Amino acid sequence: MAKWSQMVMQDSVSPSMSYISGFHDYMMLTMVLVLSIIGYVLILSCLSHLTNRYILEAQEVETVWTVVPAIILITMAVPSIQILYMVDEVVDPKLTIKVIGHQWYWSYQYGDFPFISFDSYMLPIDELKLSDYRLLEVDNRLVLPMKQEIRMVVSSADVIHSWTVPSMGVKLDAVPGRLNQVSMFMLKPGVYYGQCSEICGVNHSFMPICIESISSSDFILWVKKY
């Protein structure tokens, strides 16, 4: 999860977040390069004392500053579209989880195990342990198996919410009367946090998301003990 004064993205735990992080770095590099070139040209223009009041056109220059930006935009658009399609695609999910947003908590239903469903509320401060994170811990974690294709189906029972887990590159709107879906694939075990990312009322800041990623064998044992 993000730490105090952290200036970069959270460590990715899913392939989609790895691609998003890499695309972000590529975009930043492109932006810095373009701004550096523009700044260099502007400084040279301001410091130069050479002028020419008789130039009416410069076809070569206009061609360059039209073609080069077009090429840059294409090189940014192609990987962006690829990532968008990859994130939206759900292929042969091994598990389906239905997420329903409420004011102000989340409820989870395991589609493949109808007997497993629960609400997830934020833990009050007086119930936190010394190692717990404030405003992020919940009474019931969403337990999921790692290295398995998981389909998340998200909706809302009242107003618009947004189910967001940054380390997995997942942000999906929970809209009343509508089912939105996204695919998740966790690469390693751990506990990952998120929050509602759509202002949904007075307690919007107090409906965290807590996912516990475990091995498939441990997940089966957890299901049997539920």
Could you tell me the CATH number of the domain that includes residue 208?
2.60.40.420
Domain match, 99 and 75 both: no
Going by pLDDT thresholds of 50, 70 and 90, the confidence category of residue 97 is very high
Burial class (CB in 10 A: 0-12, 13-18, 19+), 142: buried
Task: State mean pLDDT over 103-118.
Answer: 92
Task: State mean pLDDT over 27-40.
Answer: 93
- Among 71, 88, 105, residue at a domain's last position: 88
Domain match, 137 and 220 both: yes
Tokens representing 8?
Answer: 């970069």
Whole-angstrom Cα distance, residue 122 to residue 221? 25
pLDDT for position 2: 65
Rounded to 5 degrees, what are φ and ψ at 178?
A: -135, 140
pLDDT for position 132: 83
Q: For residue 148, what is the DSSP state?
A: S
63 vs 9, higher pLDDT: 63
Over 80: is that where the pLDDT of 4 sits?
no
- Preceding omega of 104 cis (within 30 degrees of 0): yes
Residue 194 lies in domain: 95-225
Over 90: is that where the pLDDT of 67 sits?
yes
- In a domain? residue 191: yes
Task: State mean pLDDT over 33-60.
Answer: 84
Going by pLDDT thresholds of 50, 70 and 90, the confidence category of residue 62 is confident
Rounded to 5 degrees, what are φ and ψ at 179?
A: -110, 120
Domain match, 45 and 68 both: yes
pLDDT for position 53: 75
* Number of structural domains the chain divides into: 2
Spatial CB neighbours of 25, under 8 Å, sequence gap ≥ 6:
none
pLDDT for position 34: 92
Lowest mean pLDDT among 50-59, 92-101, 164-173: 50-59
